[in-house]
A and B are shown apart, each in its own frame.
Chain A
Amino acid sequence: MTALLLRDLKLSVRAGGGALIGVLFFITVVAVIPFGVGPDLNLLSRIGPAIVWIGALLSSLLGLDRMFQTDREDGSLDLLLMQEHPLVLTVLVKCLAHWIGNGLPLVIASPLLGLFMNMNEVAIGATMLTLLVGTPALTFIGAVGAAVAVALPRGGLLVSILVLPLAVPVLIFGVGASYAAVEDPAPFMPPFLILVAITMFFAVLGPLGAALALRNAND
């Protein structure tokens, strides 16, 4: 299993820099927002956490459909499906590798974008922390979509449409916790802990669903 993790990480670094494209997309999306809403710094700092979160959500959907597709194209998926390791575990490891390759760079890039959006230090820290906890949930639930994409000839866009409604709770509590850290009356911990709970729940549900979908979509 460690071997699988290492291989996928190596691939995400070497294969055309998929992670890099995700981060670039993230930066571009957030960077065009001021052109849309105007350079009002107060407004930007108010909507900042939400914009950064939405940008991260969209970027993490970007590379999702390739998660199993590359393995299917070269036949590796067949061999992975044949192995004795529970398929759920294999999928979980692949999710982790995908997150380290594609999700973690987004988290690391988020403080920079926080500065662009004129957010203060607390807001930047809170956004980064919620992204760190929340983006794995996006990858896990996205794995179901990625497994479905394996069965589809041109599934990329459809997968995003299918996954986005499921990702709404993550967005709500991620952004909610980020705001709670800045705005005084609302406590930070409850939404943050709920976000943690959602991530853990998706860590079970996502691989289960994805493994089931891979078994059924394979032919």
Chain B
Amino acid sequence: MRLIAENLSARRGEDLLFQGISFALEAGECLILTGRNGSGKSTLLRVIAGLLRQETGKVTWHSAKAESDMRAAEACHYLGHRNAMKAELTVAENLSFWKSLFGDFEGGRGMSVGEAAEAVGLGGIAHLPFGYLSAGQQRRMAFAKLLVSHRPVWILDEPTAALDVTAEEVFTTLIKAHLAEGGIVLAATHQPLGLEDARELKMVGFAGVMEEVW
């Protein structure tokens, strides 16, 4: 099981944000993206998640059972800045919707909705509408979305924004558990997540103006 990125470059507008980024992540490995705001962390994560088109390079997913030309995005969970949960629906409704939409990726099973809410430390309030929760609780519930269905790769964009220290610890524990089960984690973050053997990729941003066509 490995996620391979080769020679990635992407642009925003006409500016090349990064170029020539390559890495290979094996099962159980974690890659932390650091750098100041606007350095292209989010862009790189979105490229890997297949949400943005890269200028050059490719992202591929390899495993024993995977077809060779599979989109890497299918093996990924993506937790962006926004929580992707509907304020009008209850937490349980939100989570079970995503659980049935996502389904499970080969080689694992997701938790039930109740277990997932329990795992992020908010077991008792899954029946509340999502909009009633505080920002930190909403973030935790958004994280619970990663637990309800199995995906080997987690792509986390600032997962710990708006969280206090205890919640951060919960997240760190969950990420470690995922890694211990042979998962892969890519995260962009300002704060250290407390992961010891994580690899780090420092993004500097603005790799030059786009090789212009005009």
| Interface residues in chain A, defined as those with a beta carbon under 8 Å from any beta carbon in chain B | 1-4, 6-7, 10-11, 14-15, 73-76, 78-84, 218-219
Contacts and interface: CB of A to CB of B under 8 A. Distances in A.
A3 B78 contact: no
Given A3-B100, A4-B101, A10 B80 contact: no
Contact of A11 (B71, B73, B88, B98): B88
Given A3-B100, A83-B102, A218-B51, A78 B80 contact: yes
Contacts of B87: 74
The 10 closest A-B pairs by CB, nearest first: A75-B82, A75-B84, A3-B100, A14-B88, A76-B84, A7-B97, A15-B88, A82-B73, A84-B74, A3-B97
A73 to B, nearest CB: 7
Given A78-B51, A82-B51, A82-B73, A10 B93 contact: yes
B56 to A, nearest CB: 17
A75 B49 contact: no
Contacts of A79: 78, 84, 98
Interface string B74-93: 10101011111111110001
A84 B71 CA distance: 9
Candidate in A75, A79, A80, A83 with the most chain B CB atoms within 10 angstroms: A79
A214 to B, nearest CB: 11
By size class, the interface of chain B is 20 to 34
A75 B80 contact: yes
Contacts of A75: 80-84
B137 to A, nearest CB: 16
Q: Which of B51, B52, B76 has the most CB of A within 10 A?
A: B51
Contacts of A84: 71, 74
B96 to A, nearest CB: 8
B182 interface: no
21 contacts: A7-B86, A10-B88, A11-B88, A11-B89, A15-B88, A74-B83, A74-B87, A75-B81, A76-B85, A76-B86, A78-B46, A78-B49, A78-B78, A78-B84, A79-B84, A79-B98, A81-B50, A81-B51, A82-B50, A82-B78, A83-B101
A46 to B, nearest CB: 44
Nearest to B84: A75
Contacts of B84: 74-76, 78-79
A82 B46 CA distance: 10
A215 to B, nearest CB: 9
A139 B118 CA distance: 41
A82 B34 CA distance: 24
Contacts of A4: 97, 101
Nearest to A16: B88
Contacts of A3: 96-97, 100-101
A80 B82 CA distance: 14
A7 B71 CA distance: 26
A67 B49 CA distance: 23
Interface in B46-80: 46, 49-52, 71, 73-74, 76, 78, 80
Nearest to B105: A84
Contacts of A80: 101
A73 B86 CA distance: 10
Contact of B82 (A10, A74, A219): A74
A75 B84 CA distance: 4
Given A7-B97, A83-B101, A14 B78 contact: no
Contacts of B46: 78
Given A2-B100, A75-B81, A83-B74, 10 more contacts: A3-B100, A10-B93, A74-B85, A75-B83, A76-B84, A78-B51, A78-B80, A82-B51, A82-B74, A83-B101
